[in-house]
Amino acid sequence: MRKSFGVVLAVATLLSTVLLVGVTPAGAAGGTTCKTNTGTATFTPPLPPLSSSATVNSTINSSGTLSGCVGGGVTGGTYKLSYKDTTSHNCKQLLTYTTKTTTATITTTWSNHKTSVGTITLIAIKGNPTKSNVTGVTKTGLFAGLHTTTSFAFKAVPATGCTSTPLAKVAVTGASPVVIK
């Protein structure tokens, strides 16, 4: 559950980062740092609320916007990610998740119309179910071979999601800049 929720949030944060901190390979752009990351993630089907013992395998679709980027010839970008959860979850599991990681593919289209495709890993923060750390690496396109780091926070939309209603959507906000280098 936390994995699914974290993936959605990570996607929003990492889709634009798509990288993990590392050495710049020959021919790769010099990287970028994006100050702002905002997005949403949806769960289909929604995760059952805390009062339910039912579980579901959700597909998580995430999209978002990066802005305030400096370096690499970009000023911002948009990202998309889709992830099919292979394990059934519900809100109770999501909110008590401790130390799971999730990996997904992310695609970012930058302000210069170039694209990056990479892999991101969402790392749940023990004891804080509404925040995750993200690392990743760009596989192809702009920033290929570069690594990304960031963290993000998320909240249910509407606020009753998970508590008294199923969780269908979360808003994602960057808790730290997206760094690609």
Tell me: pLDDT of 162 over 60.
yes
Calculate what percentage of the chain has a pLDDT beyond 70: 82
Q: Average the pLDDT over each of 2-6, 47-51, 72-76, 78-82 and give the range with the smallest value.
A: 2-6
If you average pLDDT over each of 24-38, 47-61, 82-96, which comes out highest? Answer: 47-61
Residue range 68-95: mean pLDDT, rounded: 90
| pLDDT tens digits, 116-149 | 999 998 888 877 878 889 999 999 999 999 999 9
Residue 17 banded pLDDT, cuts 50, 70, 90: very low
Residues 85 and 6: their CA atoms lie apart, in Å, by 11
So what's the pLDDT on residue 97?
A: 65
Average pLDDT over the chain, rounded to whole?
83
Answer for the pair 15, 106: CB distance below 8 angstroms, yes or no: yes
The structure tokens listed for 157 are 């939309």
Number of H helices, E strands in the chain: 2, 9
Tell me: pLDDT of 56 over 90.
yes
The structure tokens listed for 20 are 């993990």
pTM for the model stands at: 0.81
Q: Average the pLDDT over each of 6-10, 65-69, 91-95, 132-136 and give the range with the smallest value.
A: 6-10
Residues 132 and 122: their CA atoms lie apart, in Å, by 6
Residues 168 and 44: their CA atoms lie apart, in Å, by 7
